[in-house]
Every structure is written in C-alpha cells, then in structure tokens.
Amino acid sequence: MTLDLNWIPITDPSDARLGPFLHLPLRKATGSFASGPFVGEGRLVVERLLRCPYRPSGLLVAESKVGWAEATIRAIATERSELLALPIYVLPDDALNRVVGFEFHSGIMGSGERSVPENLQQQMTAWFTPRSQAPSKRETIIVLPAMNSAENLGSIIRSAHGLGGGGLILSALSADHLSRRVIRVSMGHALAFPCWRTDDWIGDLQRLRLAGFRLIGIEHHARMKPLASAQRYDRQALIFGNEFAGLDDATLDLMDDIVGIAMHNAVDSLNVAVTAAITLHHFV
C-alpha cells in the first residue's frame, strides 16, 4: 500500500466507520425513498461507482484485493483526482465477511452518497419542459408505478441504459433503484441512469403529456395494439405495471395507447423485465 492513497487498516469488524457496509442482507431493497449511503459490490460495479456521477464515499477492500484497488483508483484518479482522498478501509478477508454478513468472494465494495448528481437532475428536469425547449427532441422514458422486485428493476435499468432509454420514473411503491441488489443486477448501470423518484406519479404522467410525451401503457387489454405494429413517437413514456397485478384501470384510462406482446401456447405473459427489453427494442 502506497502512502499517497487514503488507506485505513481496520481489524475490528464492529468499527463504526464501517457503518454503510454492516449486515447488508438485513437491509430492505424496497422503498424508492430510502436514505443513507448506497453500496455496490464487486470489481465491475465498484469501478463503475468510481466513474459514475454520484459521489463515492468509501471503499471496503479485503487484504487480498489491495493490489487491484490501488491500480483501479490510480487509473481513474487521472480523471477524478478527488479519489486520492477517498477512505479505503482494508480488512483481513475473513473479517470482511463478518462485516457484510455473508460469504463475500469478490472482496471489494464501495459506498456512495445519494444526493442526485446535477447532470442527472438536469436530464430529468428536461422531461417536463416543452419539446421545443428540451435539449433532446427525442426521448423515451420508462414509468414504473409499483415495481416491487429489485431483480426486475435492476434488469430493466440495464436494458434501458443499453438500448437507449432516457431514464426512469419510480413511485414510492417501487424498489429502491440504489439498493445493493438493484445495482448488482443492473451491473452498476443504475449509477449512471436518470431515475426520478416521485410521490405523485399520476401528476407526473399528466405533466409529461403536457410536455409532449405520448403515454403508452404496456398491458394485455381490450384496447391493446400489437407491439410489432405500434407507432413510435419523438417523445414517448412507456408505463409498465406491477409484476403480478399489471396496470390498473384508472392508469389505463390515462394512456394514449395500450400496447402488448401477443402470446402463444397457453403462456399468459412474459416476465416484466423481459417484456420491457423487447418493448424498448421496438420503441427506441
């Protein structure tokens, strides 16, 4: 360990400085208005955390992974010099497992501050401005009023980011997009994807329509149009329902279009994350 990085050797797993990393399996992934530092695990996710718009607040590193941590931080610090002062808590491998509460083989975690980065905030604010004033005249965003599953949410974020979606609106009923599980399933892409958290998602849908968005509900319904022939729009919001209940009638009444994927062989529907990926591929 070289002296110019902020290495902090720790031997006591109950050290108060390790608070963000303690007993991770006991923490809930639900509730999109969660507070406190978020945590990402594994080499690829931590590297994306160190490069993402959010502000990293610390690393937890097993002694066996110090070499990787040092090389990675040095490479990224050429662009983000503030990382040279980032606290790096170094523990014996077995002590790290006791801190996080499970057998953790990759040996590296990072924490970050939840404050929404300015560049992501600007992108999300632009959704609610008239198309003529928006930086981008073409935009596809996703609205998830009640996406309970962290795994589905993480998968949708990864697909949306990879396929060109512009961002995500989540209600308080949806999983926390910065939970450890969502970040892991999204392969860290949740840390660079605009996610607007709202306690008035119906009002936000109406504001999106006023800003020129076409509201498109994804649901099997009497008004359903086949996805393969669904029209694309310059500004479009794709609304996906709860994993089990889908979209309720009140929400469907707000939709400009209702689109679905025709099913065969007595299969009633696809997993919502799979549906979202297919739908995004068509619309984006």
Give how far Cα 226 sits from Cα of 59, 71, 154, 220, 248, Å: 48, 50, 26, 10, 19
Give the tens place of pLDDT for each residue, 157-189. Answer: 999 999 999 999 999 889 999 999 999 999 999
Asked, for residue 27, whether it belongs to a domain, the answer is: yes
3-state secondary structure of 246: strand
Give the tens place of pLDDT for each residue, 70-111. Answer: 999 999 999 999 999 999 999 998 887 777 766 666 889 999
Q: Are strands 108-112 and 38-41 parallel, antiparallel or unpaired?
A: antiparallel
The number of distinct structural domains making up the chain is 2
- Give me the CATH number covering residue 274: 3.40.1280.10
- Nearest Cα neighbor of 147 from 183, 178, 181, 171 is 171
- Give me the CATH number covering residue 44: 3.30.1330.30
Residue 62's domain comprises 7-112
Check whether residue 175 and residue 279 sit in a common domain: yes
Give the torsion sign (CA, 17, 64, 94, 179): positive
Check whether residue 217 and residue 252 sit in a common domain: yes
Asked, for residue 2, whether it belongs to a domain, the answer is: no
How would residue 29 be classed by pLDDT, with cut points 50, 70 and 90?
low
| Bridge partners, residue 209, by sequence | none
Domain limit, last residue, from 81, 112, 143:
112
Domain limit, last residue, from 65, 94, 112:
112
DSSP state of 175: B
Tally of CA atoms within 13 A in the half-sphere of 194 that contains its CB: 21
Check whether residue 207 and residue 255 sit in a common domain: yes
Length of the chain measured in residues: 284
Check whether residue 151 and residue 241 sit in a common domain: yes
Check whether residue 192 and residue 223 sit in a common domain: yes
Check whether residue 122 and residue 105 sit in a common domain: no
Check whether residue 43 and residue 171 sit in a common domain: no
Check whether residue 92 and residue 145 sit in a common domain: no
Give how far Cα 109 sits from Cα of 22, 150, 284, Å: 11, 19, 33
Domain limit, last residue, from 112, 144, 169:
112
d(CA 187, CA 82): 24
Reported as type and span, the H/E element at residue 201 is helix 201-210
pTM: 0.91
